Chains A and B, each alone.
Chain A
Amino acid sequence: MSFSLIGTGSALPKTIQTNSDLTAFLDTSHDWILSRTGIEARHICIEESILDIALSASINALENAGIDPKNLDLIICPTLGGDTITPSLACMVQEKLGATCPAFDINAACSGFVYGLDVADAYLSRGKPMTILIIAADAMSKLVDWTDRSTAVLFADGAGAAVLTNGNDLKSIYLSSVGNQHALCIPWAKGNHPGLLDKELPIPYLTMDGPEVYRFAITAICDDLKRVTRDADIALEDLDLIIPHQANLRIIESAAKRLKLPMEKFVVRVKNQGNTSAASIPLVLDDLNRHGQLKPGMLIALTAFGGGLTTGACVLKWSKQSNNQK
């Protein structure tokens, strides 16, 4: 298939909130949050805009790849939304980077990064030489109801980026969607036109059916990993690393148990990051890359699931030599 991943980058906002910090305004406890989710702390955009963290992640990724932004052919931002509906987050980053290429956002919620890889793969399969920047950035802190302890404790902010060019890292990829508003929803503003029949304003925050999403997530990881390894002509056991969307430790543990795979194969970073939506997978990729844990030839699976409901998974054969930049 058609891309090589030649650089990674990430950025987390400065403000860290531990579980104990949340008890100042939420009726919850560190023990409850930790036992149910595996999360201890998360980063929140207090000083930063979404653009700030997206830009920072992009600059890091471009440096890691050794690419000048002026040589970018495309910028894609998987995101639930930047600081503005328009200009898109991708356009705002493009402007700050001094890039001159087309730029657009895509919304596949927490599956966004894998969807972004698939879009990049499709562009590159046209056969023309291209360098593509994917920046997944989400500030979930702006979208959750901070009076709802069942959801607020889960989500966080962050940005992860990857630079892709023509190559052969992608061994298989699979996306799925099943429209479902009940499981997970963040409503949009509907305006106040006087002629509207239903004048009731939607509650502008995330609502979620926890058990339904939990079940969906475990099933997604299991089904998708089996599928993409089969499509890549490898066994599950051949995978060196599995990077799941970092939503909740218990989802990952449950999937590992069902797949009869050791937890050591699964990269888990949710403890100090929380659920950063689309950014979660590229944040992990960048962390692994910076610490020299990704060696050429390693088979890595990404497995994502999120609002939509969407899922996405792929198998990559890592080809980038470590820069040892940390």
Chain B
Amino acid sequence: MVFEKVVEILRNYKDEPELEVTLESSFEGLELDSLDTVELVMEIEEAFDTSIEMDGTLKTIGDVVGLIEKAIA
């Protein structure tokens, strides 16, 4: 559920409705620089009404999904 929502937000953010995303997809591979990553995480946090620690260790979609799942558990 979290993963699907994150993919939807990411596709919206990049304006690419068909974008292929897996848990292993890295921000770098998705052509998101560090500022894009901040904005994306902010949108994801808002969608789930939660907040996660952004400490530079977030590298993949799976990292974000994991932290969100923990935060809303």
Question: How many Å lie between the Cα of A214 and that of B36 in the bound state?
Answer: 10
Interface positions, chain B 22-60, Cβ under 8 Å from A, are: 33-35, 37-39, 42, 54, 56
Q: What bracket does the count of chain A residues touching chain B fall in? A: 10 to 19
Instruction: Known A211-B54, A211-B56; judge A218-B42 contact (CB<8 A).
Output: yes
Q: Is A215 an interface residue (CB 8 A)?
A: yes
Contacts of B34 in A (CB 8 A): 210-211, 214
Smallest CB gap from B39: residue in A: A254
Interface positions, chain A 186-205, Cβ under 8 Å from B, are: none
Looking at chain B's contact residues, is the secondary structure mostly helix, strand, loop, or mixed?
A: helix
Q: Is A295 an interface residue (CB 8 A)?
A: no
Contacts of B54 in A (CB 8 A): 211-212, 215
Interface size on B, residues (CB 8 A): 9
Question: How many Å lie between the Cα of A211 and that of B41 in the bound state?
Answer: 11
Looking at chain A's contact residues, is the secondary structure mostly helix, strand, loop, or mixed?
A: helix
Q: Is A70 an interface residue (CB 8 A)?
A: no
Question: How many Å lie between the Cα of A236 and that of B33 in the bound state?
Answer: 30
Q: Is A36 an interface residue (CB 8 A)?
A: yes
Min Cβ gap B23→A in Å is: 22
Q: Is A250 an interface residue (CB 8 A)?
A: yes
Min Cβ gap B62→A in Å is: 19
- Are B33 and A214 neighbours in the complex by a CB distance under 8 Å? no
Question: How many Å lie between the Cα of A214 and that of B37 in the bound state?
Answer: 11
Contacts of B33 in A (CB 8 A): 36
Contacts of B35 in A (CB 8 A): 36, 210-211, 214, 250
Question: How many Å lie between the Cα of A211 and that of B42 in the bound state?
Answer: 11
Contacts of B37 in A (CB 8 A): 211
Interface positions, chain A 21-40, Cβ under 8 Å from B, are: 36
Contacts of A211 in B (CB 8 A): 34-35, 37-38, 54, 56
**Complex A-B: 8 CB contacts under 8 Å:** A36-B35, A211-B35, A211-B56, A212-B54, A215-B54, A218-B38, A218-B39, A250-B35
